Amino acid sequence: MDSVLLLSALLLLLLPPLPSARAAPAARVVWPGLEERLFPQVRDHFSFETCGNETFPQRYLVSAKFWKKGFGPIFFYTGNEGDIWTFAQNSDFIFELAEEQQALVIFAEHRYYGKSLPFGIESTQLKKTALLTVEQALADYAVLITELKQQFGAADCPVIAFGGSYGGMLSAYLRMKYPNVVAGALAASAPLLSVAGLGDPTQFFRDVTADFQKSSLGCVTAVRKAFQQIKDLCLSGAYDEISSKMATCNKISNKEDVYQLFGFARNAFTMMAMMDYPYKTDFMGDLPANPVKVGCEQIIAHKDPIEGLSALVGVFYNSSGLAQCYNIYQLYQSCADPTGCGIGSDAEAWDYQVCTEINLTFNSNNVTDMFPEMPFTEAMREHYCWNKWRVRPRAHWLRTNFWGEDLKSASNIIFSNGDLDPWAGDKQQSQPFTDCTYH
């Protein structure tokens, strides 16, 4: 199938079908036929010395269940900042399209994440992280696609890249950087402007606030009241009361603990907004259907605003209902990404990336959003990154290397966002593109 026609077909499939009173819900496809494999990937694509002659096992998943061998397209998922199985198990949409288009499906794991570790368990140690870049990851994907097309006898099969959030950025970048390899891309929730340092630093937490405001008119008011009461108790030194009402495992004893508590709580709102699906999910945390609505119901049901806030954040941090208290330093670790890095080795790798190329200097200000004032300036980021990784961010590199907001030369890219997506405010609304579509 011609690549432009294929991408047009995918766009039509993205449009919601006409409602039907008799229509039965579609059966849920569960990652059919995925097989885990390893590919000997080059450590350093841009050097012909030392690491350039060495390889590491890059993990990828492949399913040929629906593929029309030698003729059907290839759907290639550009892996994000985590274990590739996590993304594959939450991407039923790709398999639905694959069945429709008779496509080969490939999920590629991003270097330094999951099991694709260039230096094994030492990969996120100082002096081992230099090869963790967007450019190296894109080269991994281009090489992998080229090799797999040969292995599968798919030389003439067009490749469509898929990705969400950071993976959405990568799918767009892959089309822009390697148009000879990828015929088109679907970039979902891809914050191309923000990561290039071109976004509004207040946008993200303003949009998270808007999500909760849409769910319940009284929700944001209750949240503001809870944070203000915690701040007032802090100023009066009533740390025990804060600890008791927020159910922290360790006593809050100073302003630094309160600031950590604010970050811990704000992170719960962030995750619930990003994962506000109309069905239960275990993607990036076990959450009920419509977690924003559930969270708002929790805080509004409590007479005490702080106790209500504790119940609300429990929708994310205590989905089982079994935890008796919150270890705020263990459950949330501040990093160079104010929207959250997570915890564990994958979180360390992401922290390094947002200390180098990727710009996410968002802040909350308690004016355009409901959260406590928590600034995160470029100077603060630079100070943190030098102390943690001995690197200095290159704030303007992505707009130079990947065109910033000037995408007039880009083609065959669909940029999609949901109405409740906190990243939706990042998309370009005004610039017309002949061959790029916003949906």
Task: Note the pLDDT of residue 279.
Answer: 87
One DSSP character per residue, 181-199 reads T-SEEEEET--HHHHTT-S
Q: Which residues of the chain have pLDDT under 70?
A: 1-31, 52, 425-439
The DSSP symbol for 27 reads P
Task: Note the pLDDT of residue 227.
Answer: 98
Count Cα atoms within 13 angstroms, Cβ side, for 133.
16
Given a contact cutoff of 8 angstroms between Cβ atoms, the answer to whether 337 and 381 are in contact is: no
Query: How buried is residue 131: exposed, middle or buried, by Cβ count under 10 Å (0-12/13-18/19+)?
Result: buried
The CA-CA-CA angle for residues 367, 361, 261, to 5°, reads: 65
Token pair of 161 as six digits: 């890249």
Task: Note the pLDDT of residue 5.
Answer: 55
Token pair of 251 as six digits: 């006593």
Task: Note the pLDDT of residue 436.
Answer: 58
Task: Note the pLDDT of residue 329.
Answer: 96
What is the strand order of the sheet 35-42 is part of?
35-42, 55-63, 104-108, 74-78, 159-164, 184-188, 413-416, 436-438
Question: Inter-axis angle of helices 92-101 and 3-14, to 10 degrees?
Answer: 130
Number of other residues whose CB lies within 10 A of the CB of residue 375: 12
In angstroms, what CA-CA distances link 230 with 106, 236, 264? 48, 10, 13
For the chain, helix, strand, coil in percent to 5 are 40, 10, 45
Given a contact cutoff of 8 angstroms between Cβ atoms, the answer to whether 285 and 272 are in contact is: no
Task: Note the pLDDT of residue 26.
Answer: 35
Q: Taking the alpha carbons of 409, 415, 419, 422 in that order, is the dihedral positive or negative?
A: negative
Task: Note the pLDDT of residue 24.
Answer: 32
Task: Note the pLDDT of residue 388.
Answer: 96
pTM: 0.89
Single-letter residue type at 32: P
